[in-house]
Amino acid sequence: MEKYYCTTAIDYVNGAPHIGHAYEKILTDVINRHYSQRADIAFMLTGTDEHGIKIQKTSASNGMTPKELCDTNAQKFKDAWKALGIDYTRFIRTTDENHERVVQKIFKKLVEKGDIYKHSYTGLYCSGCECFLNEKDLTEDGLCPDHMKKPELVEEENYFFKLTKYKDAIIKHIKTNPDFIVPSFRANEVINQLEDIQDISVSRAKSNVSWGIDVLDDPEQVIYVWIDALSNYITAIGYDVDSQTDEFKKLWPVDVHVIGKDILKFHSIYWIAILMALELPLPKHIFAHGWITIDETKMSKSLGNVVSPTSVLESFNLEYPDAFRYYMASAAPCGKDGNYSDDDFKEKVNAHLANSMGNLLNRTLSMLVKYFDGEIKSEFKKVSPLYDKSLETVKAVKHHFDYFEIQEAAQKIMELVDAANKYVTDSAPWTLAKEGKMEECGTVLNTVLEVMCVISSLIYPYCPNIARLMSDQLSYDINTKLDNITCNNIKPGKLISKDEIKPVFLRVDSEFADKGKK
């Protein structure tokens, strides 16, 4: 595989990052790290969406300029992703000078092509959604169903994008590419939305929204979110209307846009139509993940249950973010909603990472030191049915990632861990040593350590720090490509001494100091 390009949605910076933001970034980072083990180049894009009425209003209420608010909050997102080990390749901000310049040229090109036209419009506008709503989209009380607020009646002259022109082409693309939208059950939702789709407003009058990118040749209008924010996926990698960089040519089309299910419409309809208008190749996949609830309750500022991702690391005194990454990435089946709770977090990571995986490596290495002074003997046999299961697991994990089944891939890895633990229990190397069957004892230990090399590679996207600690103790190259994985990594000779054996993950036993704190 030559390249893999994946993106997250860019986050709106009128507030600080929460666990919902973190879920998407962790999912995408796990996907990106997995494909870094398969592709020559793995490129992950994330960033922040920094224009619009909400930024304008929030900054004014805080006595700041919009740019000051954006600078402050964009840094909060960067700090959070650093703490969570999000290894993105590029962080784009829609206030970046190059992005703004190219967006203006994209807008102008679509005007010249006749795909954008000026039109007077009266409609119901929800500032939370940053879009106009139809009356049929509202609740019985006339509220936006997502924000439970009444949209305001807006009358102004805006530029509109001819979305209806591309309706049939989008429907055809979805129907002829069943893996375009993931999970596939969401494709019908999109097709239903397309049935009565209308042209969309892609600018706002500067008299109503001043914080945005100016429309070239029309200083009274600013470019609205769809042309601005969605274009980040191409401006970040060197797209320009007049020319494309080598990087853009190498990376585009994107392999997957990872987004929340609530913005699927904008990516699978609006963005696809824009790309068609620009005559660019379409994304290979759009993966719409579910939401994360807190203790089975939807996050809400009014309920006070909005959880900061870094607060979890601090509250459980985690040296590395790996446990939280593993928990979040395996929180839900592909495209379904997941849940976070303190108790479930502690129970799951203790069971999987400490008791099963970490303890397996620790006790196997300890027995190798106890019985063989940490040395792998040449007479230890190199054949085991467990090797076959290990290589089958590599294939299964790759298959699940190809379908964005991140939780399911994690389950396969843990099944291999459980099989290795059962093998140790059934083989009882301590009994073999007691009976003087040292070659058989050593073969059992060597077999488990070979399997642990495979496990360290497979768990790396979820737990990069734990994986490196494992591979260091195994003298295994964690950078081995998945296609090159074997069960013949540990060579005869001294592998480890007693003082080099360290637990790769300690049990999480601390509680939140004060659950009343946000």
Catalytic residues: 18, 21, 126, 129, 144, 147, 298, 301
Tokens in use for 491?
């060579």
Distances (CA, A) of 139 to 9, 28, 134, 148: 27, 33, 11, 8
CA triplet 305, 508, 36: central angle to 5 degrees? 85
* 498 and 492 Cβ atoms separated by less than 8 Å: no
* 132 and 201 Cβ atoms separated by less than 8 Å: yes
Beta strands in 421-483 (DSSP E): none
Strand partners, 293: 339
Sequence-distant (6+) residues with CB within 8 A of 216 are 104, 105, 107, 108
Buried b (16+ CB within 10 A) or exposed e, 310-329: bebbebbebebbbbbbbbbb
- DSSP 8-state code for residue 125: E
Tokens in use for 216?
């070239």
* 46 and 8 Cβ atoms separated by less than 8 Å: yes
Residue type, 512: F
Residue type, 335: G
Report helix angle 438-459 to 464-474, nearest 10: 150
CB neighbourhood size of 133 (10 A)? 17
Q: Tokens 């119901």 identify what position?
A: 124
Whole-number Å distance between alpha carbons of 342 and 357: 21
Using DSSP bridges, classify how beta strands 152-161 and 90-93 pair: parallel, antiparallel or unpaired.
unpaired
Q: Assign 3-class secondary structure to 427-439.
A: HCHHHHHHCCCHH
CA triplet 305, 309, 312: central angle to 5 degrees? 85
CA atoms within a 13 Å half-sphere pointing along the CA-CB vector of 468? 5
